[in-house]
């Protein structure tokens, strides 16, 4: 086979998978731009771009409030879990201490048990602490879940980091704290950013926890708000589509914004020798 032929086959395969993945997304985006009220099922290009659906959804659906709640929750979760994950990943990835194996498996457990299995007992626990129907009820459990993943992720990265880098810094006089923040974290930036995007995305899209923990409308997060919004406007497809786009947009923006960074980082910093 010639390289050219191989390439063509690769492209065909990739293109068809992209189509499968993009079809429903594109359908929703296109629907959002249809004239308001049109029952545009399926896949038709709007005759002109109608932005009215977005304005309508924004005001009717209280999305400003939902996005604000989501932002508060997601940013706190991302910030705290990133900090904690970097430190615990560093410990598990570069140090040996009593019980490190057992402790690590304990962390993994947090990764393996699905939230569905935890959410009800969690509700009672938090209620005992009078934390239900507050942001804490959304933030604290998600920090816990994200740190399980983040520890696993950062540990893998630090394990793969050349040991000589750590040793060189130790000989240069750096203590553990400086080794982590001055040498390893700058080196790990692509991995850290990727982790932050993933945690942001998962936190942003979390539905079940918000549904169980929060009853005040002012605390509703975007996906939960969207669900209520859909309940009220079952038949208005274009409005629902606009709402969905509004909720999904921040994740896409964050991804696009950070993607440039982590791709550049991945190319540059990974090889020492």
Of positions 94, 178, 205, 230, contacts other proteins by CB under 8 A: 178
Q: Which residues lie closer than 8 Å to 72 by C-beta, 6 or more apart?
A: 135
**For residues 52 and 236, what is the distance between their CA atoms, to the nearest angstrom?**
13
Of positions 183, 197, 245, 246, contacts other proteins by CB under 8 A: 183
- Taking the complex as a whole, the smallest distance from the CB of residue 94 to other proteins amounts, in Å, to 13
Of positions 24, 35, 117, 162, contacts other proteins by CB under 8 A: 162
**For residues 181 and 183, what is the distance between their CA atoms, to the nearest angstrom?**
6
Q: Which tokens hold the place of 144?
A: 């816990």
- DSSP class of residue 133 equals T
Work out whether 266 is an interface residue with other proteins (CB under 8 A).
no
SS3 (DSSP) at 125: helix
Window contacting other proteins (CB under 8 A); options: 107-115, 135-143, 166-174, 239-247:
166-174
Picking from 107, 108, 139, the residue whose alpha carbon sits closest to that of residue 122 is 139
Work out whether 138 is an interface residue with other proteins (CB under 8 A).
no
Burial of 139 (0-12, 13-18, 19+ CB in 10 A): buried
Of positions 42, 114, 121, 273, contacts other proteins by CB under 8 A: 273
Window contacting other proteins (CB under 8 A); options: 58-66, 70-78, 121-129, 178-186:
178-186
The residue written with tokens 């932002």 in the block is: 71
- Taking the complex as a whole, the smallest distance from the CB of residue 178 to other proteins amounts, in Å, to 7
Of positions 49, 98, 102, 171, contacts other proteins by CB under 8 A: 171
Work out whether 261 is an interface residue with other proteins (CB under 8 A).
no
Q: Which tokens hold the place of 220?
A: 């509703």
Nearer to other proteins, 67 or 183 (CB): 183
Burial of 72 (0-12, 13-18, 19+ CB in 10 A): middle
Work out whether 217 is an interface residue with other proteins (CB under 8 A).
no
SS3 (DSSP) at 131: coil
Window contacting other proteins (CB under 8 A); options: 44-52, 95-103, 118-126, 167-175:
167-175
Nearer to other proteins, 34 or 194 (CB): 194
Q: Which tokens hold the place of 146?
A: 């994200």
Contacts with other proteins, residue ranges (CB under 8 A)? 162, 164-165, 167-175, 178, 182-183, 186-187, 189, 268-269, 271-273
């Amino acid at each position: 086979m010639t390289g050219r032929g191989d390439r063509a086959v690769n492209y065909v395969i990739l293109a068809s998978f992209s189509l499968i993945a993009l079809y429903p997304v594109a359908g929703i985006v296109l629907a959002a731009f249809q004239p308001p009220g049109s029952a545009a099922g399926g896949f038709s290009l709007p005759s002109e771009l109608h932005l009215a659906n977005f304005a309508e959804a924004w005001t009717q659906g209280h999305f400003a409030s939902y996005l604000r709640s989501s932002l508060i929750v997601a940013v706190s979760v991302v910030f705290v879990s990133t900090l904690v994950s970097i430190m615990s990943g560093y410990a598990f990835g570069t140090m040996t201490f009593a019980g490190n194996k057992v402790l690590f498996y304990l962390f993994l457990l947090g990764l393996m048990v699905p939230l569905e299995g935890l959410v009800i007992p969690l509700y009672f626990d938090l209620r005992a602490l009078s934390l239900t129907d507050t942001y804490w009820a959304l933030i604290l459990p998600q920090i816990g879940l994200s740190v399980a993943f983040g520890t696993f992720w950062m540990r893998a990265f630090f394990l793969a980091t050349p040991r000589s880098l750590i040793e060189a810094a130790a000989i240069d006089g750096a203590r553990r704290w400086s080794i982590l923040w001055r040498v390893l974290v700058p080196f790990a930036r692509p991995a850290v950013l990727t982790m932050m995007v993933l945690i942001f995305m998962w936190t942003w899209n979390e539905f079940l926890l918000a549904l169980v923990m929060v009853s005040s409308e002012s605390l509703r997060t975007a996906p939960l708000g969207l669900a209520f919004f859909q309940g009220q406007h079952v038949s208005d497809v274009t409005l629902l589509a606009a709402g969905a786009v509004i909720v999904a947009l921040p994740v896409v923006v964050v991804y696009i914004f950070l993607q440039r960074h982590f791709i550049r980082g991945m190319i540059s910093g990974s090889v020492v020798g």
